[in-house]
Amino acid sequence: MKNSKILFILLFLLPFLGLSQNEKFVKAMEKNIQNSDSAKTAADNLQVVNAFERIGNAEKKEWLPFYYAGFVYAMIGSQESDKDKQDDYYDKGLMDIAKADSLSPKNAEIYVVHAMLLQMKIGVDPMSRGMKLGPESGKWLNDAITLDPENPRAYFLRGQGTMFRPEMFGGGKDKAVPDLEKSVQKFAKFKPASTIMPKWGEKSAKRALENCKKKE
């Protein structure tokens, strides 16, 4: 009889314990996303990325911590002048994105950051990497758009990639405008599903579109 009462109490409390754990995860993510938004230096971002990885290692079923860790590694690499260190950060970002992908397959948001990290690796050595990683990055973005045609970040990254691609290879500002316009239009309608879902990119998409439409 005593064991039955204990079992009943545990079954009654289980949903509330789960809710408490979920709230703890959301609060931790919200705090670290705010820290990411306010980070100014590579050192600040390294603290942020370490915190996301700790959250991901503790919450083993959640893809968002590793997604954001991959995203922040891209930011750290962009703040680094040493090309070998840049490459190392981008590779670490790709490892975290692979973890996110294993937890949430066929996720357009993950595909977008994967493509972004590849684009940034191209920037380390455009001459030797562009021919291989350019199409690879493009495929990740095309697949992201197929999975979620309303995702504004996918159009932004694809447009940005086109903007920086040499005209002889089908790039240039004029060619980038259609994707960037789509991105801005979709950002105007976009609403993240929760406080911790990705929402970055709108200001950058608008700046890129303005840059492409400027008369030389």
What band does 30 get if pLDDT is binned at 50, 70 and 90? very high
d(CA 168, CA 188): 33
Q: Which residues, 6+ apart, have CB-to-CB distance to 105 below 8 Å?
A: none
Cα 56-59-64 angle, rounded to 5 deg? 50
Comparing C-alpha atoms, which of 112, 72, 109 is closest to residue 194?
Answer: 109
Domains and CATH numbers, the chain: 2-213 (1.25.40.10)
Rounded to the nearest 10°, the torsion over CA 76, 169, 115, 120 is: -10
Angle at which helices 173-189 and 202-213 pack, to 10 degrees?
A: 150
Contact 67, 52 (CB under 8 A): no
Q: What percent of the chain has pLDDT over 70?
A: 89
- Residue listed under structure tokens 């040499």: 166
The pLDDT assigned to 68 comes to 98
Residue count of the chain, please give it. Answer: 216
d(CA 102, CA 116): 18
Could you give the 3-state DSSP secondary structure of residue 118? helix
The pLDDT assigned to 63 comes to 97
Does the pLDDT at position 118 exceed 80? yes
Mean pLDDT of the chain: 90
The pLDDT assigned to 50 comes to 97
Token readout for 162 is: 């086109």
Could you give the 3-state DSSP secondary structure of residue 174? helix
